[in-house]
């Protein structure tokens, strides 16, 4: 019986660690993706509204939506991750119903924070005018600080409730 419990504890630890690693990987991938050619990757309408999907472009969470929800006409295209979340039988809130399967089980607060990191103008250089007239890309100093804080929150287990 003790060996079974030890194996279960080890398995649970590996699962938790792999979710944390998966969140770190998704965060890094998101930052890297929008650091490169953000104007042609952001999902923004002609009116300047952010959407999960616009044409063939997707926002941070939109990149992980199932294909049937990567559509401009989808009713949830402009809702927050919190608005998309549903209460499951075990009492947890998640947005797994609209995400690709390989990212199921991640905390809705992680997805909300990821979308905020992607959306906030003060975190990204391309939304700032530069004196030299050259448009810069990537995270601002404030964005870099938030990126590190987000990484730390993941490592501390803040988003382990998914």
Q: What is the pLDDT of residues 72-87, one digit of tens each?
A: 999 999 999 989 988 7
Listed as own residue / partner, the contacts of 141-146 with beta carbons closer than 8 Å and 24 or more positions apart are 143/117, 146/117, 146/120
Backbone angles phi, psi at 79, to 5 degrees: -90, 160
Query: Domain tally for the chain?
Result: 1
Question: Going by C-beta distance under 8 Å and a sequence separation of 6 or more, which residues neighbour residue 67?
Answer: none
Domain presence at residue 83: yes
Domain presence at residue 7: no
Largest CA distance in the chain: 69
pLDDT over 90 percentage in the chain: 52
Domain presence at residue 17: no
Can you give the length of the chain in residues?
162
Q: How far apart are CA 57 and CA 61, in angstroms?
A: 11
Strand partners, 57: 54
Average pLDDT of every residue of the chain:
84
pLDDT band per the 50, 70, 90 thresholds, residue 43: confident
Q: Which residue, among 41, 73, 65, 70, has the nearest Cα to 53 in the 3D structure?
A: 70
- Tens of pLDDT, residues 61-72: 999 999 999 999
Domain presence at residue 18: no
Q: How far apart are CA 112 and CA 123, in angstroms?
A: 16
State the pLDDT at residue 2.
45
Contact 154, 110 (CB under 8 A): yes
Strand partners, 87: 93
Question: What is the residue range of 121's domain?
Answer: 25-155
Location of structure tokens 């409730």: 161
Domain presence at residue 162: no
Contact 53, 62 (CB under 8 A): yes
Contact 154, 27 (CB under 8 A): yes
Domain presence at residue 2: no
Domain presence at residue 73: yes
Domain presence at residue 80: yes
Question: Higher confidence at residue 150 or residue 11?
Answer: 150
pLDDT band per the 50, 70, 90 thresholds, residue 1: very low
């Amino acid at each position: 019986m003790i060996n079974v419990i030890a194996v279960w504890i080890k398995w649970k630890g590996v699962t938790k660690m792999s979710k944390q690693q998966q969140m770190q990987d998704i965060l890094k991938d998101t930052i890297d993706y929008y650091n490169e050619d953000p104007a042609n990757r952001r999902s923004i309408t002609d009116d300047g509204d952010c959407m999960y999907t616009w044409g063939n472009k997707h926002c941070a969470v939109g990149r992980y939506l199932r294909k049937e929800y990567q559509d401009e006409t989808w009713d949830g295209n402009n809702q927050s991750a919190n608005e998309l979340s549903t209460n499951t039988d075990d009492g947890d809130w998640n947005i797994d119903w609209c995400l690709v399967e390989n990212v199921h089980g991640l905390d809705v607060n992680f997805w909300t924070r990821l979308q905020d990191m992607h959306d906030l103008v003060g975190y990204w250089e391309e939304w700032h005018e530069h004196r030299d007239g050259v448009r810069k890309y990537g995270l601002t100093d404030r964005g870099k600080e938030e990126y590190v804080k987000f990484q730390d929150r993941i490592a501390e287990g803040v988003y382990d409730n998914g």
